[in-house]
Amino acid sequence: MVNIIICENNEYYRKTTYQIVDNYMKKTNIKYKISMFSNYTDKLKKIVKNPLDGHNIYIIDIHLSDEQSGIDIINDIRKKDYDSQIILETGYETLLSEAQRLRLSILGYVLKMVNYEKNILELLETCLNIFNLQSSLKFRYDKIDYNIKYDDILYITSDSVERKCLVTTKNNVYDVRKPIYYFEEQLNSHFYKINRGCIINTDNVKKYNYQENIITFCNDQDLSGMISNKKVKGLKEYVRSN
């Protein structure tokens, strides 16, 4: 169970953060609960003092009010809890610089005005990997249960006629009788769907040749003719932003 606690005094960012986190977590097979607070309430203080069962992720705004600071919450958390992961966010660069100087024991900082969603998702994914909850793909092949590390996967292709998928790794190919959405729901944001029946692991891509429609992976294996015309623009934008 993963508990995500959002403490943000700005209603827009509180709801936006909730939506970003909820949309991401829905794509995983991980049980989760999101709690939202507009300030450091008695209920939140109780959670901080007695951490919830499971894994806890705090997303905290630095400036909650003239009387309250996210830094105060972090200090209270770290009095007895060093297992929870903390993401600190702010809309002010000056406050961000000040917080960085304090060398707080947190995972990372997010500036709301710069790539907010992208940075939140990257840190959220890092949290899950730290908890060892989302670093591998699980499936059954030839009566054996497999747990394949994301780092080893090159791409996954579907065969609609045979109603199966081929999971291609750096060293093996697994023939799995599962639809592609079964895998898609487990994968993290480093995987990109280049057509209706193919998902690639962008971390293992060495080169994109858009003109000839060839993707070369880190082991020099090529995947040809798989990038859909409708996906070329999105893939280019994804690669540039990551």
Quote the CA–CA distance of 178 and 174 in Å, as a whole number: 11
What would the two tokens of residue 140 be? 């059954």
3-state DSSP assignment of residue 56? strand
Specify the 3-state DSSP secondary structure of 236. Answer: helix
Only one residue has tokens 């709801």, namely: 15
Distances (CA, A) of 145 to 86, 149, 182: 34, 13, 15
Residue 183 to residue 130: CA distance in whole angstroms = 21
Helices and strands, number each (H, E), in the chain:
7, 15
Chain centroid to CA 38: 24
pLDDT at 214: 97
**Which pTM does this prediction carry?**
0.58
Task: With beta carbons less than 8 A apart as the criterion, state whether 90 and 96 touch.
Answer: yes
The Cα–Cα gap between 215 and 82 comes to 42
Check residue 232 and give its pLDDT.
95
Query: Concatenated DSSP letters for 109-151?
Result: EEETTSSHHHHHHHHHHHHHHHTTSSSEEEEEETTEEEEEEGG
Contacts of 17 (CB under 8 A, 6+ apart): 6, 8, 59, 89, 120
Residues 6 or more apart whose CB falls under 8 angstroms from that of 209 comprise 215, 216
Q: What is the pLDDT of residue 183?
A: 85
Tokens of 120: 């939140």
Please give the pLDDT value at position 100.
62
Place of tokens 């970003």: 20
Report mean pLDDT in 10-residue bins for the chain, 242 residues. Answer: 93 95 86 93 94 92 81 89 90 62 75 89 89 73 80 92 90 90 81 95 96 96 96 93 78
DSSP code, position 156:
E
